[in-house]
Amino acid sequence: MFSKKNIFVMILILVGLVFSVAVYAQDKVQKKYTEKLPYTPVITPNGSTMPWTRDKDGAKVFQITVGACQHEVASGMIINAWCYNGQTPGPTIEVVEGDLLRIYVKNELPEGTAVHWHGVFLPSGMDGVSGLTQKSIEPGQTFKYEFRMKQHGTFMYHSHGDEMVQMGLGTMGFLISHPKNPVDPKIDRDFALFLNEWFVEPGTKTPNPSIMTDFNIFTFNSRAFPGTAPLVVKSGERVRIRIGNVAQESHPIHLHGYSFKVVATDGGQIPASAQWPETTVLVAPGQTRDIEFVADVAGDWALHCHRRHHPMNAMGHDAANVLGVNQDDVKDKVRDLVPGYMAMGEHGMDEMNYMKMKGPENTLAMMGGEGQFGPVGMGGMFTVLMVRDHLKDYDQPGDYPHPKGTVADVVVKKATN
Ligand SMILES: [Cu+2]
């Protein structure tokens, strides 16, 4: 029925077909791996996004090493921290709802640990609580976590074993899941800020994790102003700021110049009918809050914690209140006895500015940062939302060019009675 020649041609066609299908499939796989990201990537100011690879079964694979690192809080202050992949907060993990996650955690700490995926719906045995849901990851061991991401939103990962020490030294990071089907309105600039507070005895390098209430360093993404990167936005862009907190205190985060809506928590999206306008959002330990607004007014807008002590750096809380007391005679004498002694301000705290006083080694001035009009007089949990009408890129755009006549200025040079 078939000649030898026909059979040979058919075999050739069949081989060709199989080869084409294989090439097509490979192409598709390649395309999938190199596809353009189906979301606006999150920006972690002063931080980074965790790289990943794909396993053959399509799982997104992340590698985390937890261990000691040196971390710069701001220029002039480096601390001994415990970090994920050498950073605190750890690199932001970014996935899409529906992704299969395979996360390897290697422990290089001197004690056991586990990683909890905060807010994520997953099998109990993947929840990362030492002793309760898994064996502790002992020093030198590597564990594998694997779960499918069922939700979208802002979640966190952090130590769940000796939390006081491990989280107190910095083991925390964002786990952000983008919706599978894009949600309107589209976000143009998507930022993530982790809140934390620390106690570092002035003149030392290692945060004291046993401190319960009296902290002296307050940070966005483990950086204190003036070490915090600004959030740069072009006028008219829709902005989301994701704020996470696994620290000891709650922080009311306030944005100048705008009102925003809290659109989501780590529990899920908030229906539009349940959102109200705000200028400050309280983020308690164990919470995330996503805020959104359209940045339609150019300027330099402060973004900071509104607790009075939190936009401020290292201070001695035990000092006596000498506001209004002339200390000229005593402060040099005290400094002879206590090197680096910083007297509480006679006229307020502005004189503690880094311009005017040098503190102990490895200790930030209480306030720092230089604006176009002079010292900013802030520290700690403080950064700037820089909104500009024209931007070439998202690098620090420099001083805001205030339109003529829109800056408050002196009208009486000196009061006369
Ligand atoms: Cu605060």
Q: What is the pLDDT of residues 239-258, one digit of tens each?
A: 999 999 999 999 999 999 99
Distance 319 CA to ligand 1 centre (A): 21
Distance 215 CA to ligand 1 centre (A): 10
| Burial annotation 337-369 (CB, 10 A radius, 16+ → b, else e) | eeeebbbbbeeeeebbbbeeeebeebbbbbbbb
Answer yes or no: is 347 within a domain.
no
Distance 352 CA to ligand 1 centre (A): 20
Answer yes or no: is 34 within a domain.
no
With a CB cutoff of 8 Å and minimum separation 6, the contacts of 28 are: none
Please report where in the chains the tokens 């769940």 appear, as a residue. Answer: 160
Distance 291 CA to ligand 1 centre (A): 17
pLDDT above 90 for 268? yes
Distance 310 CA to ligand 1 centre (A): 5
Mean pLDDT for the stretch of residues 387-393: 96
What domain range includes position 154? 53-305
3-state secondary structure of 17: helix
The amino acid at 395: D
R_g of the chain, CA atoms, integer Å = 26
Please give the tally of structural domains in the chain: 1
Distance 176 CA to ligand 1 centre (A): 23
Q: What percent of the chain has pLDDT over 70?
A: 84
CATH number at residue 130: 2.60.40.420
Distance 258 CA to ligand 1 centre (A): 20
pLDDT at 85: 98
pLDDT at 183: 84
Q: Any idea which of 69-73, 179-183, 284-288, 355-359 has the lowest mean pLDDT?
A: 355-359
Distance 162 CA to ligand 1 centre (A): 24
Q: Are 98 and 139 in contact (CB under 8 A)?
A: no
Distance 207 CA to ligand 1 centre (A): 18
Answer yes or no: is 72 within a domain.
yes
Distance 254 CA to ligand 1 centre (A): 10
3-state secondary structure of 392: coil
CA proximity to 331, closest of 357, 313, 312: 357
Answer yes or no: is 392 within a domain.
no
Answer yes or no: is 3 within a domain.
no
The strand pairing partners of 15, in sequence order, are: none
Distance 196 CA to ligand 1 centre (A): 8
Q: Any idea which of 1-5, 320-324, 350-354 has the lowest mean pLDDT?
A: 350-354
CA proximity to 89, closest of 178, 154, 186: 154
Structure confidence at residue 415 as a pLDDT band (50, 70, 90): confident
Answer yes or no: is 163 within a domain.
yes
Distance 268 CA to ligand 1 centre (A): 24
Structure confidence at residue 29 as a pLDDT band (50, 70, 90): very low
pLDDT at 324: 64
Distance 404 CA to ligand 1 centre (A): 35
Answer yes or no: is 213 within a domain.
yes
Structure confidence at residue 33 as a pLDDT band (50, 70, 90): very low
Distance 185 CA to ligand 1 centre (A): 30
HSE, side-chain direction, 13 A CA sphere, residue 276: 2
| Burial annotation 86-104 (CB, 10 A radius, 16+ → b, else e) | bbbbbbbbbbbeebbbbbe
Q: Any idea which of 3-7, 44-48, 84-88, 294-298 has the lowest mean pLDDT?
A: 3-7
Distance 199 CA to ligand 1 centre (A): 14
3-state secondary structure of 32: helix
Mean pLDDT for the stretch of residues 104-113: 98
Answer yes or no: is 265 within a domain.
yes
Distance 22 CA to ligand 1 centre (A): 57
Is the pTM higher than 0.95? The answer reads: no
Q: What percent of the chain has pLDDT over 90?
A: 69
